[in-house]
Structure 1
């Protein structure tokens, strides 16, 4: 058995997957009008799952959405209020305009069961505390009932997550039925590795490897030009380290911290509050989570103050990597001459 190829960062894995799919695709897939180039059965491993962020000029990402989606999952939510605010396209996945069923992975992993029993996540952690070498800590997402309706607008791409505690490290394996290598994979790996890091903190373990298995890995025909730009940008040094060090989630992170961040996120999202860096620094949160709230405040300004640049003090208070991403994603909202 050959292990999947290992990469020091997701940025390296992302470029390698794009190159493999675009240059060695097996099929042209026309499912539901989303023409794509596809390979069947793709896997890779990340040696340091914290290195989950992209810093590529040809693939600017939205760091606010990355944290919003991960927190939406951790909050066990189905409603659109949070996720639909940061990505309006997600509303197209809803039947009733209020909730999402299939891709609300967090509701299937983190929400308590209707009978009041603990969530799948809590049960998995309890198992790992009792049996440190267990192979059974699997968090299922895809259900047989998801196939009941042909043409359902929101079928889960995630099959499930497996947590494996070994020699003081927490490893995680993700199984996906399908993944868009240029779009969904970027967000999925970010959220799933953040969930892995959170789980490691709850168990008092160090962060181990992350492995990503995909049944259908594909790149949309509409995205081939963008993929070519990424490949050109990374061609000189495919194994180059990301431009910025990865932030480290505190090992004392608790569910209280997650709940507090979600409470403040809602105030900012609904424009009931506006925070200066000093306000955020005064909150009873580790700096890691304060930085997340600064990103949400930046987004509040982008949405509610469309004619103004993002507050310079706020930009200065962001970690360099997050600031770099904000400046590339919203260059017109940064004061002239301020992009590094």
Structure 2
């Protein structure tokens, strides 16, 4: 018996939660944000790799989603990187240099005080020796955050629970709160990437992903976009289907470091890559997709191009081209993928 409704991928779960909250009469006003809210909801993804929604009205940003996932996996908290892809995140920083509670990767992938191994590595070590363990929990939210007056950046993620069952790695995510329109999609993308990375490191198959939320809400200021998204979904003959590739089994922390070295060169406009340049970097094609996205963004931000180079667009997976073509006019060469 399932404790949460099951969906194939994140798009179906996202739409179901938007409908649920849009139909509720429960309202809250918290920190100046009027919103509709449902308390205590969850869902399960049978295929966590289906981590992207293909909804033109939503205009999901795969550039940011890959950047945030890599930022987490590298254990970073700096605004220098993530603020480039999402400038609005700078408003959540107390000092304009680093982020606090929302820098989940900094908590997960760096050693705790007095330890020499990160919590993530400790859990992998546990699960490698105790296959049926129930103790593979990675806490993120800290009670110390409650003591920070007017905390600008309190963690929404309370923790990730990794469970090995039948040679598959399952994950259960616990959120204290989720903005369904703005935060849910990026969270699921990053957390399922962390789950798949852990599965790769353990040599296991990818299992299910379950997501529980204490406060599931939609702010009134985003209600119009939510209505458009739901109207689009209702009018479609069927959802768009683009398969998401499998993370290569040879992925390690060194892989993440290598990808981010090239990301920094692109972000600072120190290099300009053609598709053939990226193909020749010695990086697995799976991670080349992230660099292709970062090159697209470099052209949009630094070159202010009116048309992203066709060779870069053509080297992207069809689903990523579809998303870019609906987000930036410079990527409209992707229109043929609709």
Task: Please indicate the TM-score interval, normalised by the length of the shorter structure.
Answer: over 0.9
Contact 2:24–2:36 under 8 Å retained in 1? no
Contact 2:313–2:331 under 8 Å retained in 1? no
User: SS of the residue aligned with 1:12?
Assistant: helix
Alpha-carbon separation, structure 2, partners of 1:2 and 1:139 = 23
Report matched runs for 1:237-248 at 5 Å.
240=238, 242-248=240-246
Alpha-carbon separation, structure 2, partners of 1:235 and 1:50 = 24
Counterpart of 1:182 in structure 2 is 181
User: SS of the residue aligned with 1:208?
Assistant: strand
Alpha-carbon separation, structure 1, partners of 2:334 and 2:5 = 42
| 1:5 and 2:43 correspond | no
Alpha-carbon separation, structure 2, partners of 1:142 and 1:83 = 20
| 1:76 and 2:75 correspond | yes
Alpha carbons of 1:116 and 1:275: their partners in 2 closer, same or farther (altered >3 Å)?
A: farther
Q: CA deviation at 1:189?
A: 0.5
RMSD: 1.7
| 1:323 and 2:318 correspond | no
Alpha-carbon separation, structure 2, partners of 1:46 and 1:12 = 9
Contact 1:9–1:242 under 8 Å retained in 2? no
| 1:55 and 2:54 correspond | yes
Alpha-carbon separation, structure 2, partners of 1:69 and 1:338 = 28
| 1:38 and 2:34 correspond | no
Alpha carbons of 1:18 and 1:336: their partners in 2 closer, same or farther (altered >3 Å)?
A: closer
User: SS of the residue aligned with 2:91?
Assistant: helix
User: SS of the residue aligned with 1:273?
Assistant: coil
Report matched runs for 1:1-340 at 5 Å.
3-25=3-25, 27-115=26-114, 117-235=116-234, 240=238, 242-334=240-332, 340=338
User: SS of the residue aligned with 2:217?
Assistant: strand
CA deviation vs aligned residue, 1:220-276 (integer Å, no higher than 9, x gap): 1111111111112222579x5542111211122111211110111011101111111
Q: CA deviation at 1:339?
A: 7.0
Contact 2:322–2:335 under 8 Å retained in 1? no
CA deviation vs aligned residue, 1:175-234 (integer Å, no higher than 9, x gap): 000000111001100100111011100000000000000000001111111111111222
Alpha-carbon separation, structure 1, partners of 2:264 and 2:334 = 30
Q: CA deviation at 1:282?
A: 0.8
Using the size of structure 2 for normalisation, the TM-score is: 0.96
Q: CA deviation at 1:306?
A: 0.9
Q: CA deviation at 1:148?
A: 0.3
Contact 1:9–1:241 under 8 Å retained in 2? no
User: SS of the residue aligned with 1:229?
Assistant: helix
User: SS of the residue aligned with 1:165?
Assistant: strand
User: SS of the residue aligned with 1:13?
Assistant: helix
Contact 2:305–2:330 under 8 Å retained in 1? no
Contact 1:302–1:333 under 8 Å retained in 2? no
CA deviation vs aligned residue, 1:82-113 (integer Å, no higher than 9, x gap): 10010000111111111111100000000123
CA deviation vs aligned residue, 1:95-140 (integer Å, no higher than 9, x gap): 1111111100000000123445100000000000010000001110
Q: CA deviation at 1:149?
A: 2.4
Query: Mind listing any 5+ residue stretches in structure 2 that lack a counterpart?
Result: none
Q: CA deviation at 1:2?
A: 5.1
Runs of 4+ in 1 over 6 A off after TM superposition: 336-339
Alpha carbons of 1:78 and 1:169: their partners in 2 closer, same or farther (altered >3 Å)?
A: same
CA deviation vs aligned residue, 1:256-304 (integer Å, no higher than 9, x gap): 2111101110111011111111111111111100111100111111111
Contact 2:325–2:334 under 8 Å retained in 1? no
